[in-house]
C-alpha cells in the first residue's frame, strides 16, 4: 500500500475489526464497490463500516452500484473538481473493445450488462448506474499477472486483494484456535463471528434478494456404517444456516455445506475453516449481485462434523428448510490447500456432474477417486453420506487433497493455504451454486436421476463427462476392435516357423509369470523391511519407494523376459516376438476392460484408453515395422501413440500416491504400509511396463539396464535397512509428523454387585501407524514394550476409552501408569431403572452427565442379546468385533443424557447379562490438561504430533 501523502485525496475505510485503513488515490484495489452513499467496502479487509473523504464526499453518488475504478480514475484526473461524472480512461489496464467486463469475479458484485464495449460506455455518457459485465471474462482478460508473476494494476491487483477477503475470514476463524464441538471456542466465539459477518453481508445485500438466518441447535441420534459401524447421539449442537432467496421466496433450494468445528488440537484451517470462508464470500457476492436467483441457496455452516457428521444429520432430518433442498455441494478437506477435487457425486443424477462441468471455472474431478472412496478403503467419511442416506438428496463432494500429511494436525494452519487456492475454490463454488440456483433441472431433480456418469479431468485443464451407458458402449466397441484384431491373427494360416496362437499363449504366460514374480519380489522386500522395523522409510522421501520397490519390480519384469528371450525363444525373430508381446499386453488390458465394464465401474475408461490408443498406434505403424523393422521412425511413432495413455496414467498415479501415501501414516498398527505401497507400486509398474515389454525383445541387450536398476535398488535397500531414511519430519515447509494420541485416563471397573474391583490410572498411548513407538522410545525411554497395554478380555473394546471405534485398526497400545485425573466437571453415570418388559426382556434405563464428548460401550454376555435401544433407529448396531459403540456429544449446554437398552435374556448366568462402560473425553478447557500429560508431551520430539486429552472410564456389569 502506498504511503499517505498530503497532496492526494485519502479514503478512509473503517474495517470490521475497527482498524482504520487509509488509502491514497490512486490505489488500484484499495476500494471495493459503492452501494450506498457513505458505505464503502474495503477490499483489504473486506467489509464495510464507514466512509469519509474530503473530495469524494462531495460527489453525488448514485444509488446503484458503481464500478470503483472509474471513481479512482476520476479523482486521479480531477483531484479537486466538482461532482460531475466525467468518464475517464481506465489507465493502465483497458479492456479490449467489445469484451465483457467484470469488476470482480470472486469477491465482488457481478454487474451485468452485455454487449457494449469499453469505448461505448465510457464515451457515450452511459449512466454509471449500470455498468457492464460478466464475471467469466474479465479476470481471464485482464487479470493476467505479468511474466514476472506480479500484478501491476487494476483488476489483477484487485483480484489478489479480493481473494484476501476469503483469507480474512479464514484467518479470523483459525485465530480462535481448535474448535471442538461443545467448546466455547466453537459454540460461542466462532458462531458469534459467523453471525456478525453474515449480518454485515446482509446490510450490503441487494434488495433483489432476501436473507434469512437461523441458528439451529438440534438433538438426535443415528447409526452409521462407518469404521465398522456405530451409533451416534448428539444434543444441542450448533448449525448456523443462511437462506438466500429471491425477494418473493423460493420453493426449491441448493445447499452449500461446510463445517466450522475442528478436531482437537488442530486449528482446522483447511479442514474446514477455509470452506466456510469461501462460503461466506460466495454468500456475499451472490447477495450483492443484481442477478436474480430462481431458487434459494442455503448456506449451512455446521458446527459438528468432526463429531462424525452429527450436525449435518441434525440439519437434514430436522430443519424446516431441509425439505426445500434438491441438491447439495459439500466442501471438505482430506489435505491442506491445493486444488479442490470433486471426488464424489450422485447418487446417479448425471445432471449434477454436467452442471459442475459447465459451470466450474477450474474443474478438477475424478470418477476414479469416487470409486476408490466409495469402496471404503479410505478411513474417512463426509457429510455427503448423511445428505445421501438420510436426506435422499444428490450432491457433489469436494475436498482439498494435497498434503494429507498434516490434515487433522496442528500444522493445518491458514498460512499453508495459498490465496490462489481460496480464489480457485471461490470461483468454482460461486459459479456452480449460481448455475444450480438458476437451473431448470433443480426443481425436478428426481426426474433426472437415472444413471451414473463417467467423469475425469484432463491434466486439470478440463473435464470430460459422459453417461456410463455411453461409456459401456464405447468400452465394448473397443473390445470388439481387439477381438477383430486378435481374431484375424489367430485365424491366419500357420507359417513354418511361427505358430501365432501358441506363441501368443506362451507370451501371455511369460507376462503373467513376470508380473507374479515381480509382485512376490517386492512383497518379500516389503515384509523384510517391515520386520526389521524400517517401515515408512519413504514417508518423508517418496523417491525411496520408487528406488526400492519400483526398481525391483521393473528389474524383475525385465529379467524374466530377458531369460525367456535367451532360453526359450532361441530361433524366433525379434520383430515377431515384439509383436506377440504387444498383443498379449493389449489382451490383458482388454480383459481388465471387460471385467471393469461388466461390474459397472466407471473407472473402466482408463482401461479403454489403454487399449484404444495402443491399438490405433499399432495399426498405424504396423506397415513401417514390417518394412523397416524397429527403426527410429517406428519408435517415434510408437512413443507418440503411447503418449496419451502414459501421460494420463502417470497423472493418475501421481494423484493416487498424493492421496495414499499420507493415509498410510494413519492407517493403524495392523496393516504394514510397506506391503500396501509396494503392491501399489508393483501394480503401477505392471501397467506402465506393459507396452514396453516388446522393446525387451526388440533390444539387443538388457544387461546394462538391469544392472543399473538392480544397483539402484540394492543401494536403496541397504540404506533403508541401515535406517538412513527417517520417516518423519518437522521441517516447517513440509512437516510430516507422526501422529500419536495420549489419553490420561482413570479407569474404574465394577462387578455385578456394584463393588469396585479394579481402579487404575495412566496415560494410554496410541500411535496411528505401523512403526508404533519404535522411533519414539529413544526420546521417551519410559515408553517401551514393557508398558504395552493389555486387553481386558471381558470388557467391551478391550476396556479402553476409544474415542472412535478404531480398535481393530490399532491393536498395539502403550500404558504408562500415572496419578488419577480429577476433572472439574466429573462425569456421572447411573442406572435409572431396571424393568422386566411384558415381552420378557430387561429394559435398563441409564442417565449420563459429563463433558461434551462421551462414549458408551456395550457387550452382551453369553445367553443374552441386545434387542432394542432408544438410540439410532431403535435397532442396535454392532461395531467390528461384536461390541456396541455409541458416540455421544453435546453443545455448550445439555440436559442429562437419558437412554435405555433392552436385553433379551435367553439363559440366566452368574456373570450377569451385560457389561456397559462409559468414557468421558475432556477435549477442551482446563479439564483437558494434566501436569503429567503436559510433561510427557514435552518429551515428544518435534517430528511427532501428540494429541492429548484427559478422560475417565467406568465399567459396570448388570
Ligand atoms: Zn472436514
Ligand atoms: Zn476432518
Query: Who contacts 505 (Cβ-Cβ below 8 Å, separation ≥6)?
Result: none
Q: Which residues surround ligand 1, an ion (CB under 5 A)?
A: 271-272, 332
According to CATH, the topology of domain 160-451 is Aminopeptidase (3.40.630)
Phi and psi torsions of 488, nearest 5° = -60, -40
DSSP string, 130-198: S----HHHHHHHH-PPPTTS---SHHHHHHHHHHHHHHHHHHHHHHT----TTSHIIIIIIHHHHHHHH
- Cα of 308 to ligand 1 centre, how many Å? 10
Q: How far apart are CA 737 and CA 379, in angstroms?
A: 19
CA of 333 to the centre of ligand 2 (A): 7
Short-list 593, 657, 645, 330, CA closest to 458: 645
Distance of CA 404 from the midpoint of ligand 1 (Å): 12
DSSP string, 382-446: -HHHHHHHHH---EEEEEE-S-GGGTTSTT--GGGS-HHHHHHHHHHHHHHHHHHHT-SSGGGGG
Q: 862 near 912, Cβ under 8 Å?
A: no
Q: Could you tell me the distance, in angstroms and rounded to a whole number, from the CA of residue 380 to the centre of ligand 1?
A: 10
C-alpha 180/C-alpha 171 separation (Å) is 17
Q: What b/e string do you get for 581-617 counting C-beta neighbours within 10 Å, with b at 16 or more?
A: bbbbbbbbbbebbbebbeeebbbbbbbbbbbbbbbeb
In the chain, residues under CATH classification 3.40.630.10 are 160-451
Q: How far is the CA of 408 from the centre of ligand 2 (A)?
A: 6
Which contiguous run of DSSP H or E holds residue 651?
A: helix 632-663
The answer to whether 545 and 677 are in contact (CB under 8 A) is: yes
Centre of ligand 2 to C-alpha 327, Å, is 22
* d(CA 312, ligand 1 centre) in Å: 12
Q: Which ligand is nearest to the CA of 273?
A: 1
The alpha-helical segments, DSSP class H, found in 754-848 are: none
Contacts of 456 (CB under 8 A, 6+ apart): 365, 366, 367, 368, 463, 464, 465, 605
Supply the residues annotated as catalytic.
Answer: 305
* Contact between residue 869 and residue 876 where contact means Cβ atoms under 8 Å apart: yes
Q: What percent of the chain has a predicted confidence (pLDDT) above 70? A: 82
Q: Say yes or no to pLDDT of 116 above 60.
A: no
Q: How far is the CA of 264 from the centre of ligand 2 (A)?
A: 10
Which tens digits make up the pLDDT trace of 716-740?
999 999 999 999 999 999 999 999 9
* pLDDT classification of 620: cutoffs 50, 70, 90: confident
Q: Residue 699 — very low, low, confident or very high, per pLDDT cuts 50/70/90?
A: confident
Which ligand ends up closest to the CA of 412?
A: 2
**What's the gap in Å between 501 CA and the centre of ligand 2?**
55
CA distances from 444 to 327, 344, 391, 392, 447 (A): 10, 21, 16, 14, 6
Distance 448 CA to ligand 1 centre (A): 29
Residue 813's DSSP bridge partners are 766
Tell whether the model's pLDDT for residue 182 goes beyond 50.
yes
Residue of 12 and 364 predicted with greater confidence:
364
Q: Let me know: does 606 contact 652? Beta carbons within 8 Å.
A: yes
The backbone torsions φ and ψ at residue 415, rounded to the nearest 5 degrees and listed phi first, read: -70, -10
Return mean pLDDT, the chain: 82
Q: Cα torsion for 24, 26, 29, 34, to the nearest 10°?
A: 90
Instruction: Give the helix ranges, DSSP H, for 250-406.
Output: 274-288, 310-318, 350-359, 367-374, 383-391
Contact 318, 253 (CB under 8 A): no
Q: How far is the CA of 825 from the centre of ligand 1 (A)?
A: 28
The pLDDT tens digits of the residues spanning 226-248 come to 888 999 999 999 999 999 999 99
* Strands of 828-836's sheet in order across: 828-836, 841-849, 897-905, 864-869
pLDDT band at 449 (very low <50, low <70, confident <90, very high): confident
Ligand nearest to the CA of 178: 2
Ligand at minimal distance from the CA of 399 is 1
Backbone angle region of 337, left / alpha / beta, with phi > 0 → left and psi within -120 to 50 → alpha: left
pLDDT band at 840 (very low <50, low <70, confident <90, very high): confident
- Is the bond preceding 578 in cis, omega lying within 30 degrees of 0? no
Amino acid at each position: 500500500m502506498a504511503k499517505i501523502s498530503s497532496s492526494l485525496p485519502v479514503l478512509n475505510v473503517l474495517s470490521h475489526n475497527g482498524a482504520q485503513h487509509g488509502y491514497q488515490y490512486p490505489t488500484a484495489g484499495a476500494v471495493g464497490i459503492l452501494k450506498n452513499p457513505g458505505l464503502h467496502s474495503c477490499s483489504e479487509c473486506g467489509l464495510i463500516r464507514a466512509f469519509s473523504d474530503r473530495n469524494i464526499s462531495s460527489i453525488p453518488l448514485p444509488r446503484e452500484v458503481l464500478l470503483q475504478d472509474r471513481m479512482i480514475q476520476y479523482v486521479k484526473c480531477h483531484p479537486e473538481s466538482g461532482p460531475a461524472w466525467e468518464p475517464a480512461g481506465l489507465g493502465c489496464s483497458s479492456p479490449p473493445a467489445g469484451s465483457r467486463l467484470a469488476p470482480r469475479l470472486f469477491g465482488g458484485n457481478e454487474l451485468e450488462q452485455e454487449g457494449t464495449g469499453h469505448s461505448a460506455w465510457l464515451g457515450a455518457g452511459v449512466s454509471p448506474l449500470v455498468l457492464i459485465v460478466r464475471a467469466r471474462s474479465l479476470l481471464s482478460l485482464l487479470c493476467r499477472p505479468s511474466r514476472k508473476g506480479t500484478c501491476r494494476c487494476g483488476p489483477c491487483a484487485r483480484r489478489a486483494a479480493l481473494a484476501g477477503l476469503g483469507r480474512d475470514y479464514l484467518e479470523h476463524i483459525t485465530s480462535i484456535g481448535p474448535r471442538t464441538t461443545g467448546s466455547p471456542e466453537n459454540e460461542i466465539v466462532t458462531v458469534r463471528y459467523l453471525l456478525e459477518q453474515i449480518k454485515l453481508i446482509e446490510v450490503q445485500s441487494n434488495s433483489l434478494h432476501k436473507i434469512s438466518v437461523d441458528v439451529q441447535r438440534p438433538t438426535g441420534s443415528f447409526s452409521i456404517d462407518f469404521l465398522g459401524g456405530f451409533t451416534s447421539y448428539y444434543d444441542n449442537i450448533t448449525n448456523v444456516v443462511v437462506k438466500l432467496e429471491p425477494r418473493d421466496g423460493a420453493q426449491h433450494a441448493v445447499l452449500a455445506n461446510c463445517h466450522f468445528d475442528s478436531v482437537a488440537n488442530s486449528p482446522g484451517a483447511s479442514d474446514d475453516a477455509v470452506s466456510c470462508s469461501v462460503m461466506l464470500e460466495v454468500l456475499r457476492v451472490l447477495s450483492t449481485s443484481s442477478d436474480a436467483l430462481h431458487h434459494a441457496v442455503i448456506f449451512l455452516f455446521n458446527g459438528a462434523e468432526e463429531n462424525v457428521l452429527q450436525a449435518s444429520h441434525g440439519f437434514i432430518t430436522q430443519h424446516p428448510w431441509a425439505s426445500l433442498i434438491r441438491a447439495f455441494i459439500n466442501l471438505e478437506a482430506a489435505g491442506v490447500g491445493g486444488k479442490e477435487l470433486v471426488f464424489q457425486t450422485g447418487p446417479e443424477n448425471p445432471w449434477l456432474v454436467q452442471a459442475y462441468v459447465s459451470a466450474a471455472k477450474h474443474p478438477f474431478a475424478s470418477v476414479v477417486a469416487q470409486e476408490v472412496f466409495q469402496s471404503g478403503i479410505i478411513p474417512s467419511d463426509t457429510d455427503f453420506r448423511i445428505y445421501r442416506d438420510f436426506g435422499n438428496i444428490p450432491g457433489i463432494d469436494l475436498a482439498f487433497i494435497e498434503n494429507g500429511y498434516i490434515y487433522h494436525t496442528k500444522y493445518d494452519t491458514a498460512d499453508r493455504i495459498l490465496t490462489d487456492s481460496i480464489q480457485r475454490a471461490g470461483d468454482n463454488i460461486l459459479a456452480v451454486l449460481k448455475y444450480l440456483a438458476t437451473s431448470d433441472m433443480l426443481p425436478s431433480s428426481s426426474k433426472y436421476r437415472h444413471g451414473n456418469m463417467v467423469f475425469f479431468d484432463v491434466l486439470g485443464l478440463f473435464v470430460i463427462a459422459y453417461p456410463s451407458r455411453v461409456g459401456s458402449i464405447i468400452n465394448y466397441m473397443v473390445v470388439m476392435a481387439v477381438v477383430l484384431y486378435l481374431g484375424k491373427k489367430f485365424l491366419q494360416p500357420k507359417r513354418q516357423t511361427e505358430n501365432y496362437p501358441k506363441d501368443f499363449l506362451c507370451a501371455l504366460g511369460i507376462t503373467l509369470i513376470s508380473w507374479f514374480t515381480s509382485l512376490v519380489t517386492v512383497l518379500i522386500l516389503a515384509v523384510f523391511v517391515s520386520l526389521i522395523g524400517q517401515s515408512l522409510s519413504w514417508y518423508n522421501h517418496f523417491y525411496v519407494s520408487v528406488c526400492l520397490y519400483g526398481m525391483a519390480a521393473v528389474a524383475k519384469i525385465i529379467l524374466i523376459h530377458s531369460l525367456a528371450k535367451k532360453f526359450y525363444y532361441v530361433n524366433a525373430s525379434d520383430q515377431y516376438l515384439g509383436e506377440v508381446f504387444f498383443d498379449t499386453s493389449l489382451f490383458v488390458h482388454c480383459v481388465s476392460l471387460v471385467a471393469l465394464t461388466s461390474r459397472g465401474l466407471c473407472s473402466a475408461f482408463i482401461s479403454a484408453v489403454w487399449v484404444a490408443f495402443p491399438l490405433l498406434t499399432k495399426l498405424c505403424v504396423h506397415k513401417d515395422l514390417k518394412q523397416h523393422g524397429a527403426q527410429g521412425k517406428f519408435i517415434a511413432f510408437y512413443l507418440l501413440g503411447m503418449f496419451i495413455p502414459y501421460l494420463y496414467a502417470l497423472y493418475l498415479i501421481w494423484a493416487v500416491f498424493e492421496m495414499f501415501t499420507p493415509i498410510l501414516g494413519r492407517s493403524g498398527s495392523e496393516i504394514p504400509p510397506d506391503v500396501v505401497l509396494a503392491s501399489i507400486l508393483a501394480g503401477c509398474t505392471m501397467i506402465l511396463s506393459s507396452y514396453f515389454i516388446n522393446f525387451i525383445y526388440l533390444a539387443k541387450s538388457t544387461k546394462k539396464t538391469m544392472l543399473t536398476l538392480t544397483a539402484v535398488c540394492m543401494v536403496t535397500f541397504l540404506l533403508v535397512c541401515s535406517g538412513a531414511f527417517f520417516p518423519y519430519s518437522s521441517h516447517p515447509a513440509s512437516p510430516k509428523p507422526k501422529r500419536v494420541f495420549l489419553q490420561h485416563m482413570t479407569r474404574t471397573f465394577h462387578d455385578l454387585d456394584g463393588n469396585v474391583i479394579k481402579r487404575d490410572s495412566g496415560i494410554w498411548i496410541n500411535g496411528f501407524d505401523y512403526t508404533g513407538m519404535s522411533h519414539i522410545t529413544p526420546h521417551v525411554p519410559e515408553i517401551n514394550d514393557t508398558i504395552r497395554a493389555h486387553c481386558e478380555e471381558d470388557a467391551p473394546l478391550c476396556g479402553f476409552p476409544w474415542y472412535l471405534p478404531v480398535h481393530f485398526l490399532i491393536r498395539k497400545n502403550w500404558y504408562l501408569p500415572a496419578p488419577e485425573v480429577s476433572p472439574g466437571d466429573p462425569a456421572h453415570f447411573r442406572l435409572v431403572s431396571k424393568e422386566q418388559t411384558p415381552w420378557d426382556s430387561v429394559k435398563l434405563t441409564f442417565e449420563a452427565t459429563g463433558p461434551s464428548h462421551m462414549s458408551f460401550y456395550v457387550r452382551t454376555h453369553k445367553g443374552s442379546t441386545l434387542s432394542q435401544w432408544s438410540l439410532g433407529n431403535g435397532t442396535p448396531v454392532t461395531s467390528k468385533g461384536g461390541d456396541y459403540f455409541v458416540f455421544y456429544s453435546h453443545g455448550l449446554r445439555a440436559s442429562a443424557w437419558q437412554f435405555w437398552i433392552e436385553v433379551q435374556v435367553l439363559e440366566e448366568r452368574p456373570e450377569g447379562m451385560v457389561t456397559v462402560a462409559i468414557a468421558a473425553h475432556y477435549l477442551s478447557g482446563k479439564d483437558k490438561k494434566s501436569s503429567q500429560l503436559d510433561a510427557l508431551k514435552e518429551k515428544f520430539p518435534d517430528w511427532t504430533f501428540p494429541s492429548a486429552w484427559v478422560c475417565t472410564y467406568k465399567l459396570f456389569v448388570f
